Chains A and B, each alone.
Chain A
């Protein structure tokens, strides 16, 4: 008898847990997405990567040195 009672209680707790979890997931499932109030900025500088700058550095130095009247 006693064992049966604990089994029933365990079931009840489990049931409550499932109910709580579905409640939480129902809440989590309701994600609100607002449209941004600021315009979306696209940074064009993404085209200039650091590795490219490092590769061109020597040539840039040479150009500046050889055309110092415009730099």
Chain B
């Protein structure tokens, strides 16, 4: 009985620590999803089909852009390149390889009505069917 009691007292703080870790993890997970929101102008241009996803992992113009949309896309593509560069370094790949793999996923994730570029370079509007992607895409 005495042994059991000691066991219990030993476990109590661990349980508290565990609860704290779980709470921290939940907060850490909740924060990025709350922060990660598309710029309304970007979201609007995307759903309007003015801009779309290219196979190389960057955004492109499906129609001639306004200067504001052009600037917005250039800014996002610079940020994407920075993200690809960091990931390429940590995975021991080239920026192009990582960007291309991301492009495979980004085209797959497009919603119906959004634009994407096929391997031949043509712009297509995503519908219910799977998008036309490079043969190397998983």
Chain A contact residues, CB within 8 Å of chain B: 47-50, 52-57, 59-61, 63-64, 66-71
Contacts and interface: CB of A to CB of B under 8 A. Distances in A.
Which of A52, A56, A57, A59 counts the most B-chain CB atoms under 10 A from its CB? A56
A62 B137 CA distance: 16
Interface string B79-106: 1100110010011011011101110111
Contacts of A50: 135-136
29 contacts: A49-B136, A50-B136, A52-B93, A53-B97, A53-B100, A53-B104, A53-B136, A54-B138, A55-B91, A56-B93, A56-B97, A57-B104, A57-B105, A59-B90, A59-B91, A59-B98, A60-B98, A60-B101, A60-B104, A61-B105, A63-B87, A64-B102, A67-B36, A68-B33, A68-B37, A69-B37, A70-B76, A70-B83, A71-B80
A52 to B, nearest CB: 5
Contact of B94 (A47, A59, A67, A71): A47
Secondary structure type dominating chain B contacts: helix
A58 to B, nearest CB: 9
B5 interface: no
B35 interface: yes
Given A53-B101, A64-B102, A70 B79 contact: yes
Given A66-B32, A71-B102, 12 more contacts: A50-B136, A52-B101, A53-B137, A56-B98, A57-B105, A59-B87, A59-B98, A60-B105, A63-B83, A68-B36, A69-B37, A69-B39
Interface of B: 32-33, 35-39, 76, 79-80, 83-84, 87, 90-91, 93-94, 96-98, 100-102, 104-106, 109, 135-138
Contact of B106 (A56, A64, A66, A69): A64
A57 B138 CA distance: 8
A48 B79 CA distance: 22
